[in-house]
């Protein structure tokens, strides 16, 4: 049974914590002052110490320092009705696990206590081994299933389609498959189908012969040749034009291709892994993607869950990015405060893991203490905006509303915003809205918005 020493000069708080902690199954001990706590610590060892910050003789920081003298591995949680950012900084510098301002939410308190015990019992090496797979991080059931599937398909030559929203880590899955495969020492070539201009993509993929067109001053090896023996990763495969889809199908079927300006076919040995953040089946039905190519690419599908569906992985991911960016920026920031993590846990992360990484990088740049506090997360504007939007959308007013008109205006606002974010590309705007290209075209026609974007 884990033992806890509670240090507080208020009897009511000691009695309250005794009830809470005893129900959780902990062996609870008490000290009514900082001096009494120090005397007890000279004689007994505890798995966790929870102490108030403001006491008459020896304050909570003094108790914290005494605990660390006795055993540096014992986590200490500071509780205070007078907690400030400066208090938190001082406590973290002296090695506190976390601080909790009064009054606190009991469920949050219980979670912080559980996390404190886990921090003591799980070593970094164990975390790396159990929760990491290549550059992928997570212990959720969804991620463990993904790891298992990667292991099973890696040794095969089967083509893989990785689906999921932007920012979920689809390229990391592709790299993990390649890294576990017999091709791991051969090239891994990334082809960003949305990043190569339509006029250049054929020459980039297949290469060309000197003199094939104006500007072709030398022979050029294409990306397929560069990947020979290894893996080709098509990112945003749904962006390929119909003409390129036809030629790609031949490469997959025949393992041959022809450089621009040549007639000789060249053999190539590559494995194909593709990724998409749209529903390709819907694109096939709408005529935007070839059905035969879809079935060639989608022999096995790996679906990456959005971060909002695996929030249990949030602490691991946040701590990983915190370590990465504190090292890069040369800072001594050791953890996120419990309340910073609570704020992150409420955020929906529309940009998924990539957005979390950006948030942590920014917080490290802004934070001046050794702990990331909530004000460094830059999420307040999002929360205020969401509150304003929720109120606007649900405010009926005394005279009521015209529901059809409100829904039409809302639909129009979202479509125009998506088109703006996609720089006029209907295909990309459809992905942002989670609908098919055909559905977007229909809605735009219904709303009279055809002139607001370029076809893409």
- Tell whether 71 is covered by a domain: yes
Shared domain for 194 and 297, answered yes or no, is: yes
Q: How many CA within 13 A on the CB side of residue 119? A: 23
pLDDT of res. 123: 39
pLDDT of res. 146: 92
Average confidence (pLDDT) over 353-378: 86
Alpha-carbon span 138 to 172, nearest angstrom: 13
Question: DSSP states of 173-229 as a string?
Answer: HHHHHHHHSTTTTS-EEEEETTTS-TTTHHHHHHEE-TTSSTT--S-EE-HHHHTTT
Q: What is the CATH number of the domain that holds 317?
A: 1.10.8.60
Averaged confidence pLDDT in the chain = 84
Q: What is the CATH number of the domain that holds 92?
A: 3.40.50.2300
Is pLDDT of 127 > 50?
no
Is pLDDT of 453 > 60?
no
Shared domain for 282 and 342, answered yes or no, is: no
pLDDT of res. 333: 87
Is pLDDT of 390 > 60?
no
pLDDT of res. 32: 93
Shared domain for 368 and 269, answered yes or no, is: no
219, 254, 270 from 209: Cα distances, Å = 5, 21, 22
Shared domain for 197 and 268, answered yes or no, is: yes
pLDDT of res. 129: 42
Is pLDDT of 396 > 70?
no
**pLDDT single digits (tens) 70-116:** 888 888 998 876 655 556 666 766 778 887 877 777 888 888 888 88
Q: How far is CA 292 from the centre of its chain?
A: 33
Shared domain for 285 and 332, answered yes or no, is: no
- Tell whether 390 is covered by a domain: no
Q: What is the CATH number of the domain that holds 414?
A: 1.10.10.60
The shares of helix, strand and coil residues in the chain, as percent rounded to the nearest 5, are: 50, 15, 35
Count the domains in the chain.
Answer: 4
CA R_g for the chain:
28
Query: Tokens 């070839």 belong to which residue?
Result: 290
- Tell whether 387 is covered by a domain: no
Give the residue with greater pLDDT, 386 vs 277.
277
Give the residue with greater pLDDT, 280 vs 214.
280
- List the single range of 51-65, 127-141, 178-192, 340-354 with lowest mean pLDDT: 127-141
Q: Residue 338: which residues within 8 A CB-CB, separation 6 or more?
A: 98, 99, 100, 108, 111, 112, 115
- Tell whether 391 is covered by a domain: no
| Domain termination site, one of 350, 382, 414 | 382
Shared domain for 153 and 282, answered yes or no, is: yes
**Confidence label for 383 from pLDDT (cuts 50, 70 and 90):** very low
Please give the structure tokens belonging to residue 150: 């990667």
Q: Residue 50: beta bridge partners?
A: 6, 77
- Tell whether 200 is covered by a domain: yes
Is pLDDT of 452 > 60?
no
Please give the structure tokens belonging to residue 343: 């704020």
- Tell whether 161 is covered by a domain: yes
Q: How many CA within 13 A on the CB side of residue 428? A: 18
Average confidence (pLDDT) over 369-390: 61
**Confidence label for 450 from pLDDT (cuts 50, 70 and 90):** low
Q: What percent of the chain is predicted at pLDDT more than 70?
A: 88
| Domain termination site, one of 303, 325, 359 | 303
Query: Tokens 């164990």 belong to which residue?
Result: 126
Shared domain for 409 and 359, answered yes or no, is: no
Average confidence (pLDDT) over 245-262: 90
Q: What is the CATH number of the domain that holds 138?
A: 3.40.50.300
**Confidence label for 8 from pLDDT (cuts 50, 70 and 90):** very high
Shared domain for 147 and 184, answered yes or no, is: yes
> In 254-395, at which residue ranges do the beta strands (DSSP E only) sit?
256-258, 265-267, 271-276, 300-303, 335-336, 371-372
Alpha-carbon span 196 to 174, nearest angstrom: 20
Average confidence (pLDDT) over 134-154: 90
- Tell whether 126 is covered by a domain: no
Average confidence (pLDDT) over 412-426: 79
pLDDT of res. 397: 58
Q: Residue 232: which residues within 8 A CB-CB, separation 6 or more?
A: 189, 191, 223, 224, 270, 271, 272, 273
Shared domain for 264 and 324, answered yes or no, is: no
The answer, as to whether pTM is greater than 0.85, is: no
Contact present, 186 and 220 (Cβ < 8 Å) = no
Shared domain for 150 and 298, answered yes or no, is: yes
Alpha-carbon span 231 to 239, nearest angstrom: 20
Please give the structure tokens belonging to residue 251: 């490469």
Burial 196-227 (b: 16+ CB within 10 A, else e): beeeebbbebbbbbeebeeebeeebebbbbeb
Is pLDDT of 130 > 60?
no
- Tell whether 388 is covered by a domain: no
Shared domain for 299 and 315, answered yes or no, is: no
| Domain termination site, one of 261, 276, 303 | 303
Domain that holds residue 245: 132-303
Give the residue with greater pLDDT, 417 vs 308.
308
Shared domain for 198 and 281, answered yes or no, is: yes
């Amino acid at each position: 049974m884990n033992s806890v020493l509670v240090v507080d000069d208020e009897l009511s708080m000691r009695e309250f914590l005794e009830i809470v902690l005893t129900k959780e199954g902990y062996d609870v001990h008490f000290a009514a002052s900082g001096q009494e706590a120090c005397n007890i610590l000279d004689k007994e060892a505890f798995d966790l110490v929870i102490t108030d910050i403001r006491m008459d003789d020896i304050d909570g920081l003094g108790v914290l320092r005494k605990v660390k003298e006795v055993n540096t591995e014992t986590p200490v949680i500071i509780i205070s009705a007078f907690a400030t950012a400066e208090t938190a900084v001082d406590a973290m510098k002296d090695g506190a696990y976390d601080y909790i301002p009064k009054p606190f939410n009991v469920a949050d308190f219980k979670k912080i206590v559980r996390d404190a015990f886990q921090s003591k019992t799980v070593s970094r090496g164990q975390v790396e081994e159990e929760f990491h797979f290549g550059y992928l991080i997570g212990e959720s059931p969804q991620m463990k299933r993904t790891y298992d599937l990667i292991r099973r398909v890696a040794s095969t030559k089967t083509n893989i389609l990785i689906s999921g929203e932007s920012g979920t880590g689809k390229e990391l899955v592709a790299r993990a498959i390649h890294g576990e495969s017999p091709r791991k020492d051969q090239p891994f070539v990334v082809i960003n189908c949305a990043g190569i201009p339509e006029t250049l993509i054929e020459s980039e993929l297949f290469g060309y012969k000197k003199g094939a067109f104006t500007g072709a001053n030398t022979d050029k090896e294409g990306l397929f040749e560069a990947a020979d023996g290894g893996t080709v990763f098509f990112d945003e495969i749904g962006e390929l034009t119909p003409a390129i889809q036809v030629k790609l199908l031949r490469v997959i079927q025949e393992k041959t291709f022809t450089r621009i300006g040549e007639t000789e076919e060249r053999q190539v040995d590559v494995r194909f892994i593709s990724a998409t953040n749209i529903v390709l089946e819907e694109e096939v039905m709408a005529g935007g993607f070839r059905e035969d190519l879809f079935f060639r690419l989608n022999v096995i599908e790996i679906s990456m869950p959005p971060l909002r569906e695996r929030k249990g992985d949030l602490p691991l991911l946040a701590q990983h990015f915190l370590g990465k960016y504190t090292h890069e920026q040369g800072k001594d920031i050791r953890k996120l405060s419990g309340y910073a993590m609570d704020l992150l846990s409420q955020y929906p992360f529309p940009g998924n893991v990539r957005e979390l990484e950006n948030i942590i990088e920014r917080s490290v740049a802004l934070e001046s203490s050794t702990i990331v506090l909530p004000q460094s997360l830059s999420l307040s504007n999002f929360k205020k905006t969401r509150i304003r939007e929720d109120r606007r959308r649900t405010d009926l007013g005394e005279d009521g509303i015209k529901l059809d008109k409100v829904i039409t205006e809302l639909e129009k606002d979202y479509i125009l915003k998506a088109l703006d974010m996609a720089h006029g590309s209907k295909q990309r705007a459809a992905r942002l809205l989670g609908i098919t290209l055909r559905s977007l075209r229909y809605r735009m026609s219904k709303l009279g918005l055809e002139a607001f974007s370029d076809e893409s």
